[in-house]
A = this chain, B = another copy of it.
């Protein structure tokens, strides 16, 4: 058992905060630790802080929470920093999307071949990427030995950027690989009997190994496809692991795209809502359509509302949350009820990897994770140094990436990962060199661009948004990061 200081930046995040608090309180190995919740939104911060304290108390856990709006206070002497902040918030993402659409870019200029995820902004959210670097550089001063657990998106661009701009140990986190569990369950298999691996980049991972009790699991998948694919229906906009898009990608690339990867296919699946519906199912057309993303935003809002409600009603026992959820207005989505079930249990974990990862490191408990770390020959067809998402055992000595076997197919590497990597390189080149021409060139290579002038106009309008003054200056003065 070791007591550490964990800073959570953007602790008001509707998605993550309560899941992390849940895991923290239930991980005995971290007893005695201090958790510094940091956010710039006071109301959200108070809400999470209040719940965290009540939760600790109800569980009788040995954990101290503090709240702060000062980044430096949170980072000072931290052992672990979890960055889950979204600078500008969802408002900014929607504003940029709106401007983009006006200029002919359906779903926004950041929606790109192999990156269609609607809050994964690689070029237009300068403030977000800049903040990643600011946090890492501040860590160099205030907690140089701490680990940075990068959760805020874009994880792929972000982790590479942080590595190139600082010496901080950064690891990227995502839960996309749980898609393997979904698929295995749909096939009626027991995950315990499945030997699997995924590899690639964040939001771009592929099932390179799939062995079921010594036999080729892909044969079972092929049978499932033949029998069930035509009757498949999504339960939520995010239920895409076995969508027609995923199957189509599997057939072309030779391995199954996992988690968020089926969302990140080409325009073939994404030209418009109608096409999205065909490939990602009715009624939403996947998570990243105008309908699917609305569903997600409503869910986030419901979560925020729930936290507010719980904060106001201090008499509610968090460990009996299920009971209250039943009473709550019908509007509460099923997903949130599932979350509440976990929260209300005395020992169920959220499924996020962060806290167990910390526990494995500080208490030397080897566990398997799927993490984003620099390639060191793990995927030999990709350059070393670029951050890859791979399975690894983590213990006190750090991460030990598994041998990726069998390798990713040629098509996955050459036709998917390489062009995806190029876009990452361009995004980093632009921001690190303050080079607007790279942003424009990025869009020149976008199929929705019909003229050079169109690309320039959309970039200019985004840079002129209130809140983007620093971005504008950065690119006008060609500031280097």
Q: A414-449 interface mask toward B, CB cutoff 8 Å, 1 = contact, 0 = none?
A: 110011001001100100000001000100111111
Q: Does A450 touch B at the CB level, under 8 Å?
A: yes
The distance in angstroms between the C-alpha atoms of A405 and B430, with both chains bound, is 26
Q: Is A452 touching B268 in the complex (CB atoms < 8 A)? A: yes
**With A414-B425, A415-B426, A418-B422: A252-B445 Cβ-Cβ less than 8 Å:** no
How many chain copies? 2
**B271/A451 in contact, CB under 8 A:** yes
Give the CA-CA distance A422 to B429 in the complex, in Å: 21
How many residues of A sit at the interface, in one of the four size bands?
Answer: 20 to 34
- Chain B residue contacts of A447, Cβ below 8 A: 446-449
Q: Is A345 an interface residue (CB 8 A)?
A: no
Tell yes or no: A479 within 8 A of B by CB: no
A295 within 8 A of B: no
Which residues of chain B come closer than 8 Å to A251, judged between CB atoms?
437
Residue from B414, B422, B441, B451 in contact with A275 in the complex, judged by beta carbons closer than 8 Å? B451
Residue of B nearest to A251 (CB): B437
Q: Are B113 and A437 in contact (CB under 8 A)?
A: no
Q: Is A411 part of the contact surface with B, judged by Cβ < 8 Å?
A: yes
- Report the separation of the CA atoms of residues A435 and B368 in the bound assembly, to the nearest whole angstrom: 38
Give Cα distance in the complex from A353 to B445, angstroms: 35
CA distance A307 to B221 in the complex (A): 64
Please tell me if A267 contacts chain B, counting CB pairs below 8 Å: yes
Is A266 among interface residues, defined by CB-CB distance under 8 A?
yes
- Cα–Cα distance between A418 and B418 once the two chains are bound (Å): 8
| Residues of chain B contacted by A422 (CB below 8 angstroms) | 414-415, 418-419
Contact B445 A113, beta carbon cutoff 8 Å: yes
Whether A266 touches B418, Cβ cut-off 8 Å, given contacts A252-B437, A271-B451, A450-B271, is no
The residue in chain B whose Cβ has the minimal distance to the Cβ of A265 is: B444
What are the residues of chain B within 8 A of A113 when measuring CB–CB? 445
- Top 6 nearest A-B pairs (CB, nearest first) are A447-B447, A268-B444, A414-B425, A268-B452, A266-B444, A252-B437
> 28 A-B contacts, Cβ less than 8 Å apart?
A113-B445, A251-B437, A252-B437, A252-B441, A266-B444, A266-B445, A267-B444, A267-B449, A268-B444, A268-B452, A271-B450, A271-B451, A275-B451, A410-B429, A411-B429, A414-B425, A415-B422, A415-B425, A415-B426, A415-B441, A418-B418, A418-B422, A419-B419, A419-B422, A446-B447, A447-B447, A447-B448, A447-B449
Task: List residues of A whose CB falls within 8 A of some B CB.
Answer: 113, 251-252, 266-268, 271, 275, 410-411, 414-415, 418-419, 422, 425-426, 429, 437, 441, 444-452
